[in-house]
Structure formats: C-alpha cells, structure tokens
Amino acid sequence: MCPMPIVALAKKVKELKSGQVLELLADDVGAKEDVPAWCSRTGHQLVGTEEEGKLLRFYIKLK
C-alpha cells in the first residue's frame, strides 16, 4: 500500500546496475499512477505494464 511500493522500489534500484530490467509487483491501486510518475521523475524507463485482476506488474529499465 502507498507509499511502500515506491519506497521499496527506490531501495531495490540502488542495488541494481544500469540497463537491468526490474519487475515490480504491486497490489496497490495507487501504484498505477505512482510508478509512471516515479519513473518520469527519476529518469528510469517504464517498458511495460500488465494487469492481472488486482495485481499490477511493471517492468522498469534502469537508466
């Protein structure tokens, strides 16, 4: 639930390298808008989004 997906995402990104693609699973409706906003703000690229019922799946390519 907000804000934990974004906070967890920011933490994880620090452990990864540029060019790697991160898969993020979220069950928070807010994430639908939050993740793209986070990407545009931080410069990482959102390469894909999938929706499976209540579950949201994001693919983010790190800058």
List of residues contacting another protein (CB under 8 A):
1-4, 6-7, 9-10, 34, 37-38, 41-42
Least Cβ distance, residue 15 to another protein (angstroms): 14
Which one of 1, 2, 4, 8 is the catalytic residue?
A: 2
Residues 6+ apart with CB under 8 A from 6: 31, 34, 35, 38
Least Cβ distance, residue 42 to another protein (angstroms): 5
The answer to whether residue 39 is catalytic is no
Distance CA 51, CA 55 (A): 6
